[in-house]
Homo-oligomer: A and B are copies of this chain.
Amino acid sequence: MRKVELFMKEKGIEIGDYVEVVEEENGTRVTHRGIVMPPYELSKGETLTIKLDNGYNIGILIDQIVEVKILEKAKPREEISFKEVLPKKPGLPNVTIIGTGGTIASKIDYKTGAVHAAFTAEELAKAVPEIFEIANITPKLLFNIMSEDMKPQYWKKMAHEVAKALNSGEDGVIIGHGTDTMGYSAAALSFMLRDLGKPVIFVGSQRSSDRPSSDAAMNLICSTRMAVEDFGEVAVVMHGETSDTYCLAHRGTKVRKMHTSRRDAFRSINDVPIAKIWSDGRVEYLRDDYRKRRESEVWVDDKLEEKVALIKVYPGMSGELIDFLVDKGYKGIVIEGTGLGHTPNEIIPTIERAVEEGVAVCMTSQCLYGRVNLNVYSTGRKLLKAGVIPCEDMLPETAYVKLIWVLGHTQNLEEVRNMMLTNYAGEITPYTRFDTYLR
């Protein structure tokens, strides 16, 4: 039993209790009030997590708690079973919702007054009854990871869980995910799920500063609609505007969190979103070059090479960072260059050395929008000559994920180049559409 469980046992605190906690640090006392949340499973268990009245979760170090009072006991409730499934309605498609952590799960709970980081079908039904009109929902808690702690090994677990659900007859899968790194995970599953023929929809919720109410419900409804569509790709579904007019479905390899807090933080970059999902239920496709639903056994190609770094170029940057990565045995480096994909000329020798030592060096642009082109200026030509792989209009984050995946398959630099420049999951658009830039 971890410190937090011991503490809760000792004080008679249960998940869901409304408590007042006094914390002392260096002689300063701070009082917090909120609902006790389930301890994160993968943490060391040294903090008590409570959901404050404003909806935010905070963790308080057990060692710093000098006083705790239970102001209101949790309402008695049934045993939680994550396997719980409501009776299936005939004629409705079947959708599995996989929980991985993040704000979305807790938001749903917050709305109903429940406090579980995960969710049961019954809780979902109470919180967002609309989704049960769209599909038979099977909720599944895979793990409960904070978005910023996501890493390649979890991508694998997610991919296998998705494949299992789809191959056992589910019509679509929704993945509830923290928003910080949702774009990275969506890109990862886009590459790892091969022969995908059904929708795999990432969804999260943003703490929106302009509204106290949560965006989780509408995002989840829109995700469910997309998960039963005639569509067979990985997409991220989130608010398209701050108000509840519509959500957008973005291709998993072309989407980025562009705002720290707004509901409409997620944007397609260098690409048109796949569809608008209106609040009245209409799904309006914004393009026709997406993959449609089809019969196929999805399989997981999960060979990854994790020794990859993503670094950014800036004036005054030193090449020693690149030397360090090479010395440390990194197999790949994705550079966020300036403009069309440049670095200071001074650091080109370190890039030459990296390539000579077999490290794959890929170029993207910190502009985010547009396409790298190393043929225009002399610096670019030098970089090309040094062996840098220009990643077209790929997002730096997508190029990073892709390089991890590509290097899991081959570390021959010519083959790496070919794979990086092969379009596997819409990560490269063949030409830049004029209407995909921010307005």
Contact = CB atoms under 8 A, between A and B. Distances in A.
Interface string A199-236: 00000000101100000000000000000000000000
A339 B58 contact: no
Given A311-B311, A365-B260, A370-B262, A379 B146 contact: yes
B314 A184 contact: yes
A59 B258 contact: no
Contacts of A368: 258
B149 A345 contact: yes
Nearest to A25: B385
Contacts of A1: none
Q: How many copies does the complex hold?
A: 2
Interface string A292-335: 00000000000000101111111111001100100010000000
Interface stretch (A11-19, A276-284, A431-439): A431-439
A31 interface: no
A245 to B, nearest CB: 14
Contacts of A267: 438
Most buried by B among A47, A310, A377, A439: A377
Give the interface size class of chain A: 35 or more
Contact of A439 (B372, B381, B438): B438
Interface in A244-284: 257-262, 264-265, 267
A134 interface: no
A356 to B, nearest CB: 16
A93 to B, nearest CB: 31
Nearest to A385: B25
A369 B315 contact: no
Interface in A360-407: 365, 367-373, 375-379, 381-382, 397, 400, 404
A381 B265 CA distance: 23
Contacts of A321: 309, 321, 324
A411 interface: no
Contacts of A107: none
Nearest to A370: B260
Given A314-B184, A370-B262, A344 B378 contact: no
Given A147-B342, A262-B370, A309-B317, 11 more contacts: A47-B378, A49-B378, A148-B313, A148-B338, A148-B344, A149-B346, A152-B315, A260-B369, A265-B370, A309-B321, A310-B317
24 contacts: A56-B375, A58-B377, A59-B378, A146-B342, A146-B345, A147-B338, A148-B338, A148-B343, A152-B316, A179-B339, A181-B338, A210-B434, A258-B438, A259-B370, A260-B340, A260-B371, A260-B373, A261-B371, A262-B370, A264-B437, A265-B369, A310-B314, A314-B400, A438-B438
